Every structure is written in structure tokens, then in C-alpha cells.
Amino acid sequence: MKLNTEKNSNEMTVKLSGELNTLTAPELSALLDKELGGVQKLTLDFAECDYVSSAGLRVLLATFKQLKASGGSMILSNVGENFMDVLSNTGLDAVFDMQ
Amino acid sequence: MADEKVLRIPAKLEGMDEVLDFVSSLVDAHGCTPQARSQLRMAMEELYVNIAHYAYPDGEGWAEIRGSVEDGVVTFTLIDGGTPFDPLAKPDPDILLSGEERRIGGLGIYMVKSMVDEVEYTYLDGCNRLTLKKQL
């Protein structure tokens, strides 16, 4: 999986490319562990990632909780059809902010 | 009986891509929609990863994946010789909880159930067998 990060003061965008699955979710987790400090608004861009398994959802939910606890926010952008299916099947479409 | 394809590999996480390639190549040969392919790959990822993580707590073991397509319905069976365990027996998570109340994890098997038409567990001849079916 390819992860492209852009940081601008307390805002960060991560563009994901490839599949967010059991083998690749730790890469996203490690990047966020390293870069999330001080970030108030995180945008995850899924334009080039339309496969997110439960291992990926775990990272997203943990990150969402972490940001919420510090008054920040997480936005999922360019969510594709398959990923949207997963979000609605798990009720997470009502939890995460999307644009 | 439709032609059955079989993949037998060591039950290790590193084998996941091989399992998913096996899934894609079988269903693509039968004109699968991109959505059904993605759902099947995801369901098989969840089930295979469960085997790789938990089936053999004391050492190494094997996993076998059988797949066939008949009358537009694909059937995959995952078999392992590890600890008897029915992953389907776990209660479904509450998907109506807010983000703060949500437990991190526990969604994998629930996702499998929602993405295939049928999924069934049996323990037979010392092996765990999970069979799933889905219309392509």
C-alpha cells in the first residue's frame, strides 16, 4: 500500500493507494502513530483505495476515537462503492464524517 | 459436480495474498461483478486470517481452500486441522452504538455474514470447515 502525507500546521491529509487489509493496515497505523501528534483535522483520501477489511476499520475507529478525545476530527473523502458498502454494513457510515 | 480448485498452504499470515489471488482467479473466470469479487475477497480474508492467527496456538499447521462455481453460485470451503472453533457462534456486535461506545474489533465475522449469501461451520474428521456461498 502507498501512503502519501501532506501536513499543514494542524491539518493532515493522507492519500491511500492500494488495499487496506490485514497485511497493510499496520503501515497506516504506524504512520498515524508517528504523525498524528498535534493534528486537529485528519482527512483520509480513499480515491485510490476501495478495499477496506476489518483490520483497516480497526485502525480507522481507533484513530477516530483518539482524535475525538483530543477535540479533533477525522474525515473520510472520496469513499468508493465497495468501501461504502462495508461502512453501511457495519453501521460505521453513521459514525464517520464523510465528504 | 463443478470443477473444484484446491489450494493447500501453511496457515500463516503471509499466505493471505495467495488465498486472495486464488479467490479472484476462480471468480474472474466466471464473469464475477467487481462488487461480488471485492466482497468475496474480504470474506475470505477475514476467515483465513482467523485461521492464521488462532487455529494453531501451539505451532504451525496447514489451511486448505476449496473453490467451485456451479449455476452462477460460488462455493468456498476453508479447512484447517487446528483447535475446534466456530467463529460464527460469536454474538453479532451492536452496530448502532456511537463511535465513542464502539469496541475496536469484532467486526470481521459480522462482515463475512453480511457479504455472502450463506456461511456454515462444521467440525468433521478432526477439521474445522467453513463453507460460504455467494451468487456471482
In chain B, domain spans:
5-135
What per-residue confidence (pLDDT) applies to B22? 98
Across the interface, whether the CB atoms of A22 and B13 are under 8 A apart is answered yes
For B36-84, the pLDDT digits (tens) are: 999 999 999 999 999 999 999 988 999 999 999 999 999 999 999 999 9
Taking Cα atoms as reference points, which of A89, A83, A2, A15 lies closest to residue B34? A83
Fold held by B5-135: Heat Shock Protein 90 (3.30.565)
pLDDT band at B95 (very low <50, low <70, confident <90, very high): confident
Taking CA–CA distances from A62, the nearest residue in chain B reads: B104
Following CA atoms A47, A49, A51, A52 in sequence, which dihedral angle do they give, to the nearest 10 degrees? Answer: -100
Looking at chain B, which residue has its C-alpha nearest residue A91?
A: B95
Q: In chain A, which residues have pLDDT < 50?
A: none
Across chain A, mean pLDDT equals 96
How far apart are alpha carbons A54 and A56 in whole angstroms? 5
At B4-42, the pLDDT tens digits run 999 999 999 999 999 999 999 999 999 899 999 999 999
Count of structural domains within chain A: 1
The 3-state secondary structure of chain A reads CEEEEEEECCEEEEEEECCECCCCHHHHHHHHHHHCCCCCEEEEEEEECCCECHHHHHHHHHHHHHHHHCCCEEEEECCCHHHHHHHHHCCHHHCCEEC
Query: Which position has the higher pLDDT, B28 or B3?
Result: B28
Q: Which three cell numbers stand for residue A82?
A: 465497495
Q: Residue A47 sits in a domain of what CATH number?
A: 3.30.750.24
Domain that holds residue A24: 2-98
Strand-pair partners of B57? none
pLDDT, average across residues B116-125: 97
pLDDT band at B1 (very low <50, low <70, confident <90, very high): low
B117 — pLDDT class (breaks 50, 70, 90): very high
- Among A53, A67, A76, A88, the strongest candidate for a mutation testing the B interface, having the largest count of B CBs within 10 A, is A53
